[in-house]
C-alpha cells in the first residue's frame, strides 16, 4: 500500500500558539497541495516547552485541538504530531495526536517516557498505554521523542503489527549522532518505516538553553534513508513510500518470528 507522507521541520515559538498554529497550517496546506496523505509535525509544536505556563496552556488545548481538526478537514489530509494537552485533572500531558482527513481525532498517545534529564518528568504527566492505529494504509504506531531510547516500546508495536511509527521530536545538540543511530536502529530491528519530525532553533527548556538540530527524516525497514532534512531550515519533506516493503522484508528475514521471549529477562 503506497502512502505519501510530508514531514514538517519547524521552528516553534514558545507559548505563542497563534504563531505556531499559523505556521502549522502553512505546512499542512502545502502538504495537501503536494498530494500527501499524512503530514507529521514535531513535538510540542503548538506551544514549545514552558513548564511554568504548561498548566495554564493545557486548559486552552481543547480549542487548539479543534483548530487542528479544522485544518485536517479543510485540507483533506491526516495530521499527526505532539501537542500539549491536559488530563482529567488538568495536569499537562505531552500527547501525540492523529487526525483523519475528516477532522476526526482518531487517536491520542500520552508520552510514556518523560525526559528526566531536563525535568519533564516533574512537570508533565506520563502516559501508561501504547497506541496502535488501524489506518487505510496499515497499522500506525505513535511515539514521542525520548521514547526512541526504549526499544521495548517499538518492539511491542511491531509485534502488534505496526508497519510505520511516527515520532515527533524536540531533539537537541549535542545528541545528533544518537538521533541518527537510534531512528535507524528502530527501523531496522523492527522492520518498519520510521518517521521523525524534529524542531529547529533554540529554546529555554526548563532553565537550560537547547538548540534543536533538525535532520527530520523517513527511514525504510531496511535502514535506508528515504528523505532527510538539514539542521537549520524550516522545511517540508515529502516522499512516497510503500508499506508492503515492511511485510516483504519480514517474510524474507524472520526477525519477529525468530524471537525467543522465553529466555529474555526484561524486568
3-state secondary structure of 203: strand
Tell me the pLDDT tens digit for each residue of 80-113: 999 999 988 888 999 999 999 999 999 999 999 9
**Catalytically annotated residue among 120, 139, 145, 203:** 145
The grid cell for 150 is 526504549
pLDDT of 110:
97
**Whether residue 145 lies in the annotated active site:** yes
Domain 2-252 fold: Nitrilase/N-carbamoyl-D-aminoacid amidohydrolase (3.60.110)
User: How far from 61 is each of 58, 67, 111, CA to CA, in Å?
Assistant: 5, 9, 16
pLDDT at 60 over 90: no
**Domain-wise residue ranges, the chain:** 2-252
Non-local (6+) Cβ contacts of 174 within 8 A are: none
When pLDDT is cut at 50, 70 and 90, the band that residue 227 belongs to is very high
Q: What pTM was computed for the model? A: 0.97
pLDDT digits (tens, 9 = 90+) for 165-188: 999 999 999 999 999 999 999 999
Of 99, 45, 41, which Cα lies nearest the Cα of 72? 99
- Catalytic residue, from 93, 111, 120, 139: name it: 111
Contacts of 167 (CB under 8 A, 6+ apart): 143, 144, 145, 147, 148, 183, 194, 195, 196, 197
Q: Which residues of 83-117 are buried (b: 16+ CB within 10 A; e: fewer)?
A: bbbbeeeeebbbbbbbbbbebeebbbbbbbbbbee
9-18 pLDDT tens trace: 999 999 999 9
233-251 pLDDT tens trace = 999 999 999 999 999 999 9
Separation CA 123–CA 151 (nearest Å): 24
Q: What does pLDDT average to over the chain?
A: 96
**Active-site annotation holds for 180:** no
**Among the listed residues 29, 12, 32, the one whose alpha carbon sits nearest the alpha carbon of residue 20:** 12
Catalytic site residue 52?
no
Amino acid at each position: 500500500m503506497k502512502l505519501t507522507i510530508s514531514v514538517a521541520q519547524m521552528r516553534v515559538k514558545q507559548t505563542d500558539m497563534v504563531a505556531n498554529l499559523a505556521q502549522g497550517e502553512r505546512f499542512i496546506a502545502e502538504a495537501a497541495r503536494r498530494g500527501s496523505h499524512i503530514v507529521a509535525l514535531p513535538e510540542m509544536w503548538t506551544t514549545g516547552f514552558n513548564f511554568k505556563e504548561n498548566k495554564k496552556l493545557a486548559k486552552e488545548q481543547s480549542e487548539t485541538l479543534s483548530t487542528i481538526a479544522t485544518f485536517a478537514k479543510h485540507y483533506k489530509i491526516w495530521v499527526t504530531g505532539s501537542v500539549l494537552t491536559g488530563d482529567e485533572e488538568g495536569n499537562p500531558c505531552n500527547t501525540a495526536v492523529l487526525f483523519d482527513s475528516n477532522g476526526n481525532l482518531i487517536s491520542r498517545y500520552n508520552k510514556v517516557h518523560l525526559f528526566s534529564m531536563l525535568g519533564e518528568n516533574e512537570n508533565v504527566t506520563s502516559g501508561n498505554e501504547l497506541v496502535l492505529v488501524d489506518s487505510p494504509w496499515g497499522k500506525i504506531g505513535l511515539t514521542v521523542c525520548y521514547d526512541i531510547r526504549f526499544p521495548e516500546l517499538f518492539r511491542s508495536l511491531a509485534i502488534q503489527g505496526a508497519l510505520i511509527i511516527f515520532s515527533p521530536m524536540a531533539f537537541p545538540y549535542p545528541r545528533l549522532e544518537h538521533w541518527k543511530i537510534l531512528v535507524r536502529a528502530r527501523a531496522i530491528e523492527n522492520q518498519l518505516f520510521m518517521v521523525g519530525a524534529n524542531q529547529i532553533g533554540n529554546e529555554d527548556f526548563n532553565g537550560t538553553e537547547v538548540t534543536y538540530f533538525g535532520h527530520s527524516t523517513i527511514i525504510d525497514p531496511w535502514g535506508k534513508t528515504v528523505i532527510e532534512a538539514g539542521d537549520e531550515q524550516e522545511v517540508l519533506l515529502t516522499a512516497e513510500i510503500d508499506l508492503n516493503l515492511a511485510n516483504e522484508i519480514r517474510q524474507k528475514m524472520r526477525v519477529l518470528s525468530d524471537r525467543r521471549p522465553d529466555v529474555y529477562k526484561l524486568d
